Structure 1
Amino acid sequence: MDRAIVHMDLDTFFVSCERLTNSKLNGLPLIIGGGDRGVVAACSYEARTFGVRSAMPIKMALRLCPQAKVMKGDMELYSKLSHDVTQVIEDKAPIVEKASIDEFYLDITGMDKFYGCYQWTNELAHSITKETGLPISFALSVNKTVSKIGTGESKPVGRLEIPEIMVKPFLNPLSIQKIPMVGEVTFQLLSRIGIRNIQTLSEMPAEVLQRMIGKNGLELWKKANGIDNNPVEPYTERKSISTEHTFVQDTIDIHKLKSLLVGMVEKLAFQLRSEEWLTSTVVIKIRYANFDTETKQCKIAYTSSDHALTKTVTDLFDKLYQRRMRLRLIGIRFSGLVRGTYQINMFDDTEEMLSLYQAMDKMKKRYGFDAVARCAGATLKTKNNNVS
């Protein structure tokens, strides 16, 4: 039995959310982002016609499209509407994976016996728009890779079905940049040897590709040939990420405690970004020498940035640690997580800050977490890291 995998993507999600609450924005070139030195988090199709793209500096975007309206963005609104869409899909689909704040994978294999898969998906898309007011595109195919590429090709408000017999004809003429795992560095590397479309890539010997780009070479070759056996992973709404540090000797050294907290935040924030999570709830925990344990938490705007989380954690610590007794343990937990990359929360940050985080994360992924760190937390050694 052929698999039936659907990829659904909310069209220009942030822009659509803003237009849902303010119809006067309809038809206007709209940029979601923050400040003159910030970056574009999202933009409307009207702005894209002028060359505006996500992650572009706001100043450059406004040079390309000076008539654009710039809005800071409202992550609380976007998260709520994303949750509403998730509820509609989960009420109807057998297996759902929420890949990010605005995209979903559905496994509806076998449903064609009772109800045509394309017709069912099309009616689900109409239900989503009717119940939430948000436009959505989808593609139905035999695996996650082909359906995701199909959605991108079908936008805006696209409805596309790619049966197995049509997978190769569909993929072959497309640019290799359409493959989700192909970034700018890989694209430039392959372009230099004349590999620019998927058909040429698919005909390249897999072992040669592996020698060129490393362990991901075989996976890239499979995707170019329309092969992807990755399952749709059921979505779990409630998740948290945490870490604790137990002292060998109880301490009352405030400077030491805050230095440890900075390092703990840096470690957890890096994990959030690596796994593409944003957190909305910060919890700090302390345990005194007499084993009394206290916690304090607060809600924040969705983020995965070190500097925002560090300030929240240190402020919470100052409010919580009032007894001035020795501590034997401190801990941090981030919860209220939603899928999303760091860039979509850059409403207050600058292009320089974004570049700094990207550079630091790249070094950590290549050389290990301890390769680069803030001085305040550089000596941190934590234990009991967990995700729940």
Structure 2
Amino acid sequence: MKIHIDIDCFFVSAARIVAPELEHKAVAIGGRSDTKIFTKETKNQTVNFENNGSFVPTFYKAYESKDDDLANFKDANGRIRGILTTSSYEARAYGVKTAMSIHQALQLCPQLIIKAPNMSLYQELSHKLHDFLALKIPLIEQASIDEFYGDLSGWIEDEDIPRFIDNLRHEIKKELQLPVSIGAAKTRYIAKLATSYAKPFGCKTITKYEFDKFINPIKVEDFAGIGKSMKNRLHSAQIKTLGELRKRRGTVESWGPYATELYKRVNGESDAEIQTQHTRKSIGISRTFDALYDRVELQRRVHVLARHLSFAIMKLEVIPTVFHLGIAYEMNQKSHKNISLAEIFTEKKFDTLCINLFLEADIHKRLKIIRLSINCSSFTRDSKKELSLIGFEEEQKMHKLTKTTQTLREKYGLDAIKFASEF
């Protein structure tokens, strides 16, 4: 059997380890997009390659501010800004939800305690949990900063698994002070679903005899992998539960390979091996800010984001071949542009490429922009693309310069060297 382990309200649980007085209180972790990277205020930034997932940034401050009272979330005009990354179950009872604005959450729950995120602490606790699980389970996979999979096949007999995972969650709570919920099933996909029904601080094992009873009543949108578009398509076909989906195999499989694989996962027919080592497939950076019209300033911000992302790419020692730039405007408008380019990576060329992508993607020139994102993927080691030999000699010189710049930034900080275009 496979098991899925998820830390309950991880960021809140971490805050309670540091401040036990937060136990049993309505607590939320709030964050504002780090727009300080566009000013001279940013210091001590570090890069995160080890964990990913919602609200886990690639770049974060190595030494974060301890000033996490409500004043920390107010802008120059005294407005409370930012969104919630997670909240305690006590807060959720008032209707407080993840990704809700802090202002809205306080209207629902005036006594809500808002704490600033502490990525360094989260990374430390995640490492400790991984090391602890590795002592208990032969194969363990870290899926995100707060989510793990394990394979108990041949290690624990199926009939002993409910007792094993129950003991495991209590051991984790005792040793690390972290509350976890654990789901167990024949496949990792069903185990993950079981975990969501075990929360908070619970366990749930789905045997083959309980499979139909458990799966059939669940809404299709509650299954991982069924997003908004797939949900709408299923609903239009009068498929609203997983049981109804399982009865309509022909219909679902006629929608193509993705839907076919999805059907197999729901039906417990498809599984994936536990991967003890993950190879990063992409790297990106994004920032949300107050609506801004000034295109000159926006291009300067693209330069800043490109420098940060270039630093991460060089640190990973990869050569990306697919580049994506996205823009979010006011009035809920979006635009993006992609390009494929198989050439030696240099910071200067990457910077120019990002500016060109921005100019092409910016199709709503009368609207203000609220978010910029850049993503790089399809690394040469994975895509097997051959690098272009056009201008190869000159590119090698520029790559050497980029490596020299990287060495200086590693020693003196990411902001030690900047292009004039950032000023």
Indicate the TM-score class for this superposition, using the shorter chain for normalisation: 0.5 to 0.7
- Deviation, 1:69, is 1.5
| SS, match of residue 156 in structure 2 | helix
Q: Which blocks of at least 5 consecutive residues in structure 2 are unaligned? A: 32-72, 74-79, 287-300, 318-327, 342-349, 358-375, 383-423
- Deviation, 1:310, is 4.0
In structure 2, the partner of 1:10 is: 7
In structure 2, the partner of 1:105 is: 149
CA contact (8 A) 1:140 1:161 kept: yes
Q: Which of 9, 23, 29 lines up with 2:20 in the alignment?
A: 23
In structure 1, the partner of 2:315 is: 333
- Deviation, 1:188, is 2.6
- Deviation, 1:27, is 1.7
CA contact (8 A) 2:28 2:113 kept: yes
TM-score by length of 2: 0.59
Would you say 1:54 and 2:51 are equivalent positions?
Answer: no
CA 1:205–1:384 in structure 2 vs 1: closer, same or farther (change >3 Å)?
closer
In structure 1, the partner of 2:132 is: 88
In structure 1, the partner of 2:354 is: 377
Would you say 1:138 and 2:185 are equivalent positions?
Answer: no
2: distance between equivalents of 1:114 and 1:221? 25
| SS, match of residue 184 in structure 2 | strand
| SS, match of residue 181 in structure 1 | coil
In structure 2, the partner of 1:322 is: none
Residue type matched to 1:30 in 2?
Answer: V
1: distance between equivalents of 2:377 and 2:218? 46
Would you say 1:269 and 2:269 are equivalent positions?
Answer: no
CA contact (8 A) 2:303 2:351 kept: no
Residue type matched to 1:10 in 2?
Answer: I
In structure 2, the partner of 1:120 is: 164
CA contact (8 A) 1:240 1:334 kept: no
CA 1:65–1:107 in structure 2 vs 1: closer, same or farther (change >3 Å)?
same
In structure 2, the partner of 1:262 is: none
Q: Which of 242, 248, 258 lines up with 1:204 in the alignment?
A: 248
Would you say 1:181 and 2:225 are equivalent positions?
Answer: yes
CA 1:368–1:141 in structure 2 vs 1: closer, same or farther (change >3 Å)?
farther
In structure 1, the partner of 2:273 is: 231
CA contact (8 A) 1:240 1:333 kept: no
CA 1:134–1:308 in structure 2 vs 1: closer, same or farther (change >3 Å)?
farther
Residue type matched to 2:27 in 1?
Answer: L
1: distance between equivalents of 2:148 and 2:378? 34
Residue type matched to 2:199 in 1?
Answer: K
2: distance between equivalents of 1:126 and 1:144? 22
Residue type matched to 2:246 in 1?
Answer: S
In structure 1, the partner of 2:51 is: none
Q: How does 1:173-322 map to 2 (within 5 A)?
A: 173-206=217-250, 208-212=251-255, 214-235=256-277, 268-269=283-284, 310=306, 312=308
- Deviation, 1:92, is 1.7
In structure 2, the partner of 1:168 is: 212
In structure 2, the partner of 1:295 is: none
CA 1:331–1:125 in structure 2 vs 1: closer, same or farther (change >3 Å)?
closer
Q: How many residues align?
A: 285
| CA-to-aligned-CA distance 1:290-335 (integer Å, 9 cap, x gap) | xxxxxxxxxxxxxxx9887545478x8xxxxxxxxxxxxx972249
2: distance between equivalents of 1:352 and 1:41? 22
TM-score by length of 1: 0.64
2: distance between equivalents of 1:137 and 1:209? 31
Residue type matched to 1:17 in 2?
Answer: A
Identity %: 28
CA contact (8 A) 2:189 2:265 kept: yes
- Deviation, 1:63, is 2.6
- Deviation, 1:383, is 11
Residue type matched to 2:83 in 1?
Answer: V
2: distance between equivalents of 1:230 and 1:93? 17
1: distance between equivalents of 2:340 and 2:103? 33
In structure 2, the partner of 1:276 is: none
| SS, match of residue 145 in structure 1 | helix
RMSD: 3.7
| CA-to-aligned-CA distance 1:128-185 (integer Å, 9 cap, x gap) | 1111011111011101011100000110011111112211221001111221001123
CA contact (8 A) 1:144 1:228 kept: no
In structure 2, the partner of 1:79 is: 123
CA contact (8 A) 1:139 1:150 kept: yes
CA contact (8 A) 1:168 1:225 kept: no
| CA-to-aligned-CA distance 1:205-239 (integer Å, 9 cap, x gap) | 34x22444x43110121122222221111146xx7
CA contact (8 A) 2:17 2:177 kept: yes
Residue type matched to 1:222 in 2?
Answer: K
CA 1:92–1:269 in structure 2 vs 1: closer, same or farther (change >3 Å)?
same
CA 1:117–1:41 in structure 2 vs 1: closer, same or farther (change >3 Å)?
same
In structure 2, the partner of 1:320 is: none
CA contact (8 A) 2:139 2:151 kept: yes
